A and B are shown apart, each in its own frame.
Chain A
Amino acid sequence: MSDSTHVEAPLSTTAERQAVTSQAGVTPSRDWVIVTRGIKREYDMGGEIVRALRGVDIAIRRNEYVAIMGPSGSGKSTLMNIVGCLDTPTAGEYWLNGSLVSAMKDDELARIRNKEIGFVFQTFNLLPRATALHNVELPLVYAGMSAKQRKETAAHALDRVQLTSRMHHKPNELSGGQRQRVAIARALVNNPSILLADEPTGNLDSTTSFEIMKVFEQLADQGQTVIMVTHEADIAAHARRVVALHDGQVSSDTRREHFVQENSHLIEAKKG
Chain B
Amino acid sequence: MLFFESIRLALNTIRAQKLKSFFTLLGVCIGVMFLIAVVSIVEGMGRYMEQDLIGKLIGINSFELRHRPNINMGDVDPSVWESYRRRPRLYRDDVAPVIEALPDGTKWAIVSDNNLPVSSRYSSGPRNAQVSAVDGDFFAIRKFVIAEGRDFTPQELAMGTPVVIVGPEVVKRLFPGLSPVGRELKMGGLPYTIVGVLETQGSAFGLSFDNQVFAPWASPVHRLLNRVPTIVDAVIVQVPTAAQMTEAQERVRQVMRVRHKLRPGQPDNFSLQTSESALAFWNKLKRYLVLAGIALPAIGLVVGAIVIMNIMLVAVAERTREIGIRKALGARRADILSQFLVEAATLSTVGAAVGIALGVGLAKLISVVSPLPATVAPWSIVVGVALGAGVGIISGVYPASRASRLDPIAALRQE
Tell me the bound Cα distance from A121 to B329 in angstroms.
Answer: 12
**In the complex the two chains form, is A113's CB within 8 Å of B328's CB?**
yes
Q: Give the interface SS of chain B, mostly helix, strand, loop or mixed.
A: helix
Whose C-beta in chain B lies nearest to the C-beta of A138? B329
Chain A: which residue is nearest B408 at the CB level?
A86
A138 CA to B1 CA, complexed, in Å: 12
Q: Is there a chain B Cβ closer than 8 Å to A87's Cβ?
A: yes
Contacts of A126 in B (CB 8 A): 325
| Interface residue? B50 (CB, 8 A) | no
Bound CA–CA A87/B408 (angstroms): 8
Q: Which residues of A contact B325 (CB under 8 A)?
A: 125-127, 138
A144 touches B (CB below 8 Å):
yes
Query: Is there an interface contact between B330 and A143, defined as CB atoms closer than 8 Å?
Result: yes
Tell me the B22-64 residues at the A interface (CB within 8 Å). Answer: none
Question: Do A141 and B5 touch across chains, with their CB atoms under 8 A apart?
Answer: yes
Q: Which of A94-136 contact B (CB under 8 A)?
A: 106-107, 110-111, 113-115, 119, 121, 125-127, 129
Instruction: Tell me which of A111, A127, A146 contacts B330 (CB under 8 A).
Output: A111
Q: Which residues of A contact B327 (CB under 8 A)?
A: 86, 110, 113
Instruction: Point out the residue from A115, A125, A129, A143 that lies within 8 Å of B328, measured CB to CB.
Output: A125
Could you tell me if A107 and B333 are in contact, using CB atoms closer than 8 angstroms?
A: yes
User: B409 an interface residue at 8 Å Cβ cutoff?
Assistant: yes
* Chain B, range 317-375, C-beta contacts under 8 Å to A: 321-322, 324-335
Q: How far is the CA of A218 from the CA of B84 in the complex (A)?
A: 102
Q: How far is the CB of A79 from chain B (nearest CB, A)?
A: 13
CA distance A121 to B411 in the complex (A): 14
Chain B residues within 8 Å of A115, by CB = 330
Q: Do residues B330 and A113 form an inter-chain contact, with CB atoms below 8 A?
A: yes
The answer to whether A125 touches B321, judged by C-beta atoms less than 8 angstroms apart, is yes
Contact partner, B329, options A106, A129, A142, Cβ 8 Å: A142
| A146:B328 contact, CB within 8 angstroms | no
B12 on the interface (CB 8 Å rule)? yes
CA A235 to CA B39, docked complex, whole Å: 71
Note all chain B residues with C-beta closer than 8 A to A203: none
Question: Nearest Cβ in chain A — how far from B332, in angstroms?
Answer: 4
Instruction: Report if A110-B330 is in contact (Cβ < 8 Å); known contacts: A86-B408, A127-B325.
Output: yes
Q: Is the CB of B12 within 8 A of A129?
A: yes
A142 to B331, CA, bound (A): 6
Q: Does A139 contact B (CB under 8 A)?
A: yes
Task: State in angstroms the CA–CA spacing of A110 and B412 once bound together.
Answer: 15
Does B2 make an interface contact (CB < 8 A)? yes
Question: Looking at A107, A110, A190, which has the most chain B CB atoms within 10 Å of its CB?
Answer: A110
Q: Contacts A110-B330, A114-B330, A127-B325 hold; do A141 and B2 have CB atoms under 8 A apart?
A: yes
Q: Are B1 and A141 in contact (CB under 8 A)?
A: yes
Task: Report the Cα distance A126→B328, complex, angstroms.
Answer: 11
The answer to whether B328 and A86 touch across the interface, beta carbons within 8 angstroms, is yes
A179 at the interface (CB under 8 A from B): no
Q: Are B332 and A107 in contact (CB under 8 A)?
A: yes
**Could you tell me if A146 and B1 are in contact, using CB atoms closer than 8 angstroms?**
yes
A125→B331 CA distance, assembly (Å): 15
Cβ A106 vs Cβ B409 within 8 A? no
A113 to B, closest residue via Cβ: B330
A114 touches B1 (CB 8 A): no
Out of A87, A127, A142, A186, which one reaches B332, CB within 8 Å? A142
Chain B 181-220 interface residues, beta-carbon cutoff 8 Å to A: none
Assess whether A63 is interfacial by the CB under 8 Å rule.
no
Give the residues in chain B near A186, CB-CB below 8 Å.
Answer: 329
Q: Which of B379-415 contact A (CB under 8 A)?
A: 408-409, 412
Could you mark each residue 1-23 of chain B with 1 if its beta carbon is under 8 Å from any beta carbon of chain A, else 0? Answer: 11001000000100000000000
Is A147 among interface residues, defined by CB-CB distance under 8 A?
A: yes
Question: In the complex, what distance in Å separates the CA atom of A121 from the CA atom of B5?
Answer: 25
Mask: chain A, 169-195; 1 = CB below 8 Å from B; 0 = not:
000000000000000001000100000
Nearest to A134 among chain B residues (CB) is B5
Residues of chain A within 8 A (CB-CB) of B329 are: 113-114, 119, 138-139, 142, 186
* B-chain residues with CB within 8 Å of residue A139 when the two chains form the complex: 329-330
User: Contact at B1–A110, with CB atoms within 8 Å?
Assistant: no
Nearest chain A CB to B107 CB, angstrom units = 73
B331 pairs with A110, CB closer than 8 A:
yes
Expressed in whole angstroms, the Cα–Cα distance for A8 and B113 within the complex equals 120
The answer for the CA separation of A120 and B331 in the assembled complex, in Å, is 16
* Chain A residues positioned under 8 Å from B2 (CB to CB): 141-142
Residues of B within 8 A of A12 (CB): none
Which residues does B use to contact A, with CB under 8 Å? 1-2, 5, 12, 321-322, 324-335, 408-409, 412
Residues of A within 8 A of B (CB): 81, 84, 86-87, 106-107, 110-111, 113-115, 119, 121, 125-127, 129, 138-139, 141-144, 146-147, 186, 190
CB pairs A–B below 8 angstroms (20 shown): A86-B327, A86-B328, A86-B412, A106-B332, A106-B333, A107-B333, A111-B330, A111-B332, A113-B329, A114-B329, A125-B325, A127-B322, A127-B325, A138-B326, A138-B329, A141-B2, A142-B330, A142-B331, A142-B332, A186-B329
6 tightest A-B CB contacts, nearest first: A114-B330, A142-B330, A110-B332, A139-B329, A113-B330, A86-B408
